[in-house]
Structures are given as C-alpha cells and as structure tokens.
C-alpha cells in the first residue's frame, strides 16, 4: 500500500527541530508474521523543504532496520548515506548506524563556506548524546589545502564534542580536541598540539619542521566569525 506523511516532527522522538517538518510519500510492502514485520520504502520525502530523503527498510519486533538511508541537501548537493538499526527507547531513538558522506560543505548555505568537497565514513551509536566516529578529508578554501582527518566524540542535539582527533596540514599532524555548537548560537573551539608543520608550505623561503600547542575559537562558522588564537611552546627548526 501507500501512505502520505505530512508535517512529521522529529522533536516527538527527542531529536530536536533542526530538520524542521518532514513531508512525503511512502510505499509499504512485504510480509508479516504475527503482525510483527512491515517493509517500508519512501518514494519522495522533503525535509523542511531543504533535503531530499530516501529510506528503505523494515520494522521487526520493535526494531526499524534501515537497509538504506539517503539525505541530499537540495542547495549544495551534500549527500549522506547510512544503514543499520533504529530502536524506539527512552532518550532515544537508539541508533546503530554506519555510513558515508560526499560533497559536504559547511555551512550548507552561504557564499563563503569554511569546508567544501568533504567526504568520508562514520559510525553513530547509542542514545543522546550519540557516540560518533568519523574519518575522511575536506578542502579548506581559507587554507588552500585538502585536509585528511579522524575523530571520535559525541553528537548532541546542540553540538558536537570532539574527544580525540587528528588532522594533516602542511606536512604536519595535529592532535586535537574541541567543541562545535550550532545551537542556541554558532561557536567552536579547538585545542591541541601540532608536530612537523613545514612553514615552506606558507612561505617558500622558510623550509623546516616546527611544533607548537594551540587553542583557537570562533563565534560563527562563516567568514564573519571573530577568531581568537593562542600558540605556545614553539619548537623545531627553520631552513635546515
């Protein structure tokens, strides 16, 4: 059979209102045994008029098994794919998902994104705040670099906590931790250590390898952000 979803609000699941209301068409099919199994496939879903979504999976004994989840941002074409299990529990839903993303830019809208052409893989598990791991790379227009990275932390309704992460930049490796919030206001903070950075990547007359500790923060994600930065314990060599 078929069904129509109108103005579905994820806040009823405790997921916050960031995605707005969901509207679209469902195609329902499959088998049932004792009334415990249903198969679902979305045909066209619009999320807050900003995302196209596709879902394929089934409901078995209180578990929504997702064979395919696909979200595409209509403006940027940033794409996320996932699969796994979703359980309805207190402080949930409880997730056990793996997936990947491609062509992600951040922010999703605006003329001057800080991140473009990002791609990678992720896992998302538990209940709020969700445990998250991610690894991939992104292009930074400001730094003129493609930056590989890995991170683990927690995803909350209002932001992302990076408990442990690393990133490659200008031949060096940064070990970092931090916080990225998008509600109630945009702000971010990163701290850690850099080792093996080659200044010649910025100024060709200064080859070498240096290290330092850093603490950086901003009050927005775009070019209009106010940036604070502190660098300590500089060490290494130049021109040699």
DSSP 54-68: EEEEEEETTEEEEEE
CB-based contact 216:198 (threshold 8 Å): no
Q: How confident is the model at residue 142 (pLDDT cuts 50, 70, 90)?
A: confident
pTM here is 0.83
- Tokens at 52, concatenated: 């196209």
Nearest C-alpha neighbor of 21 from the set 41, 49, 63:
49
The residue-averaged pLDDT of 156-174 equals 97
Task: Read off the pLDDT of residues 36-55 as tens digits, 9 standing for 90 and up.
Answer: 455 555 555 555 458 888 88
pLDDT at 126: 97
Residue 93 has pLDDT above 70, yes or no: yes
Q: Beta strand 2-9 with 130-140: parallel, antiparallel or unpaired?
A: unpaired
Task: Read off the pLDDT of residues 68-92 as tens digits, 9 standing for 90 and up.
Answer: 999 999 889 999 999 999 998 988 8
């Amino acid at each position: 059979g078929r069904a129509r979803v109108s103005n579905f609000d994820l806040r009823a699941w405790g997921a916050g209102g960031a995605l707005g209301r969901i509207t679209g068409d469902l195609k329902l099919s499959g088998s049932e045994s004792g009334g415990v199994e249903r198969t679902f496939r979305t045909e066209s879903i619009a999320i807050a008029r900003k995302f196209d979504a596709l879902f394929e999976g089934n409901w078995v004994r209180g578990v929504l098994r997702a064979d395919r989840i696909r979200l595409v941002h209509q403006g940027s074409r940033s794409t996320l794919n996932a699969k796994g299990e979703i359980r309805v529990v207190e402080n949930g839903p409880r997730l056990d998902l793996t997936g990947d993303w491609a062509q992600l830019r951040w922010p999703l809208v605006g003329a001057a994104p800080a991140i473009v052409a990002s791609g990678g893989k992720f896992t998302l598990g538990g209940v709020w705040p969700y445990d998250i791991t991610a690894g991939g790379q992104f292009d930074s227009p400001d730094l003129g670099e493609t930056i590989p990275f890995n991170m683990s932390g927690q995803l909350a309704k209002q932001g992302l906590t990076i408990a442990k992460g690393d990133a490659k930049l200008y031949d060096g490796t940064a070990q970092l931790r931090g916080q990225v919030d998008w509600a109630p206001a945009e702000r971010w903070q990163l701290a850690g250590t850099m080792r093996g950075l080659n200044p010649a990547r910025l100024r060709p007359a200064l080859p070498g390898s240096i290290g330092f500790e850093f603490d950086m923060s901003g009050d927005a994600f775009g070019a209009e952000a106010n940036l604070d930065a502190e660098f300590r314990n500089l060490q290494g060599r130049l021109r040699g």
